[in-house]
Structure 1
Amino acid sequence: MLTALVVIFIIAYAAIALEHPIKINKSASALIGAGLLWTVYALSLGDTHLLTEQLGESLTGTAQIVFFLMGAMTIVEVVDAHNGFEVITKRIRTTQLSSLMWLVGFVTFFLSAMLDNLTTTIVMISLMRKLLAKHEDRLFFAGIIVIAANAGGAWSPIGDVTTTMLWIGGQITSLAIIEGVFLP
Structure 2
Amino acid sequence: MTLLAQRTKRLVLLPLLPLLLLTFPVAASELSAQLLVPGGIRIEFVLFALTLLGVALLHRVTMWVALAGLTAILVAKYSLLADFSFSQHLLGGHGHEGEWRILLNLVGLLFGFGILAKHFDESQLPKILPRFLPDDWKGGFALLVMIFVISAFLDNIAAAMIGGAIAFVVFNKRVHIGYLAAIVAASNAGGSGSVVGDTTTTLMWIDGVSPWQVIHAYVAAVIALVIFGIIAARQQDKYQRITKDAATGVIIAWSRLVVVGAILILAIATNYLLDFPALGVWIAILLGALFVKTPWSELKSAFAGTIFLVALVTCASLMPVDELPPAYWITTFALGFISAVFDNIPLTKLCLVQGGYDWGILAYAVGFGGSMLWFGSSAGVALSNMYPESRSAVRWVRHGWHVVLAYVVGFFVMLALLGWQPSPPHKVTETAPVAAQVP
Partner of 1:17: 56
2:67 to 31, 34, 50: 31
Residue type of the alignment partner of 1:80: D
Q: Distance in 1 between matches of 2:174 and 2:103?
A: 32
2:113 to 67, 72, 76: 72
C-alpha deviation, 1:65, in angstroms: 2.9
> Cα–Cα, structure 1 residues 60 and 139, in superposed 2: closer, same or farther, change >3 Å?
farther
- Pairs within 5 Å for 1:42-57: 42-47=78-83, 50-56=85-91, 57=98
> Cα–Cα, structure 1 residues 61 and 138, in superposed 2: closer, same or farther, change >3 Å?
farther
Q: Distance in 2 between matches of 1:142 and 1:66?
A: 29
* Contact 2:143–2:163 (CA under 8 A) maintained in structure 1: no
Q: Secondary structure at the match of 1:132?
A: helix
Partner of 1:85: 126
Gaps of 5+ in 1: none
**Is 1:108–2:144 an aligned residue pair?**
no
C-alpha deviation, 1:73, in angstroms: 1.7
C-alpha deviation, 1:37, in angstroms: 0.9
Q: Secondary structure at the match of 1:145?
A: helix
* Contact 1:121–1:145 (CA under 8 A) maintained in structure 2: no
C-alpha deviation, 1:173, in angstroms: 9.8
Q: Distance in 2 between matches of 1:173 and 1:27?
A: 29
* Contact 1:153–1:159 (CA under 8 A) maintained in structure 2: yes
Q: Distance in 2 between matches of 1:60 and 1:138?
A: 42
C-alpha deviation, 1:63, in angstroms: 4.0
Greater Rg over alpha carbons, structure: 2
Q: Distance in 2 between matches of 1:108 and 1:7?
A: 37
Q: Distance in 2 between matches of 1:93 and 1:87?
A: 10
C-alpha deviation, 1:34, in angstroms: 1.3
* Contact 1:45–1:51 (CA under 8 A) maintained in structure 2: no
Residue type of the alignment partner of 2:44: L
Q: Distance in 2 between matches of 1:82 and 1:152?
A: 21
* Contact 1:108–1:152 (CA under 8 A) maintained in structure 2: yes
Q: Distance in 2 between matches of 1:173 and 1:10?
A: 27
C-alpha deviation, 1:71, in angstroms: 1.4
More helix by share: 1
Q: Distance in 1 between matches of 2:104 and 2:118?
A: 21
TM-score, normalised on structure 2? 0.31
* Contact 1:132–1:138 (CA under 8 A) maintained in structure 2: no
Residue type of the alignment partner of 1:85: P
- Pairs within 5 Å for 1:171-182: 177=216
**Larger deviation, residues 9-18 vs 25-34:** 9-18
**Is 1:146–2:151 an aligned residue pair?**
no
Q: Secondary structure at the match of 2:141?
A: helix
Q: Distance in 2 between matches of 1:16 and 1:157?
A: 25
After superposition, give the CA deviation of every residue in 1:132-172 in whole Å (9 maximum; x if it has no partner): 1688738654532332344445566876728866545x8x5
Q: Distance in 1 between matches of 2:176 and 2:111?
A: 22
Q: Kindly report the root-mean-square deviation, in angstroms, between the aligned alpha carbons of the 2 structures.
A: 4.2
Residue type of the alignment partner of 1:19: L
1:41 to 77, 98, 112: 77
Q: Secondary structure at the match of 1:41?
A: helix
Q: Distance in 1 between matches of 2:100 and 2:179?
A: 33
Once the two structures are aligned, what percentage of the paired residues are identical? Answer: 18
Q: Distance in 1 between matches of 2:87 and 2:142?
A: 49
**Larger deviation, residues 10-19 vs 32-41:** 10-19
